[in-house]
């Protein structure tokens, strides 16, 4: 049953996003906000994969649902705890983006 629910949720997500957009009054930033929420979800949901592949074992851990993937990468840049795969991802995202994500995504 879990697999069926997963596929139903996955299939409905994209069309519901656009339907919801039609009802939202403040449309500025809607898709950016949605992208950030997906990013935070992916940080939490795939934490084991990210912790094993993108950082060293003693690095700042993925999994906090309030942080984006870029934000956690930024912490690990500052700590010098990126793995080779993490360094490659940071090159794509840019070091500046990841470090800036620490301050722009942190509540407060």
pLDDT band, very low/low/confident/very high, at 108 (cuts 50, 70, 90) = very low
Non-local CB neighbours of 70 within 8 Å, separated by 6+ positions:
39, 93, 97, 98, 101, 105
Distance CA(86)–CA(77), nearest Å, equals 9
* Residue 21 to residues 11, 14, 56, 86, Cα–Cα distance (Å): 17, 11, 40, 34
Both tokens of residue 1? 């049953």
**In 3-state terms, what secondary structure has residue 55?**
strand
Output the pTM of the full model.
0.86
Mean pLDDT rounded to a whole number for the chain? 94
């Amino acid at each position: 049953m879990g697999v069926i629910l997963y596929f139903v949720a996955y299939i409905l997500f994209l069309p519901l996003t656009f339907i919801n957009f039609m009802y939202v009054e403040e449309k500025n930033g809607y898709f950016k906000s949605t992208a950030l929420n997906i990013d935070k979800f992916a940080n939490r949901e795939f934490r084991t994969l990210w912790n094993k592949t993108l950082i060293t074992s003693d690095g700042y851990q993925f999994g906090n649902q309030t942080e984006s993937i870029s934000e956690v990468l930024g912490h690990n840049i500052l700590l010098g705890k990126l793995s080779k795969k993490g360094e490659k991802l940071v090159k794509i995202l840019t070091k500046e983006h990841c470090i800036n994500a620490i301050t722009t995504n942190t509540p407060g």
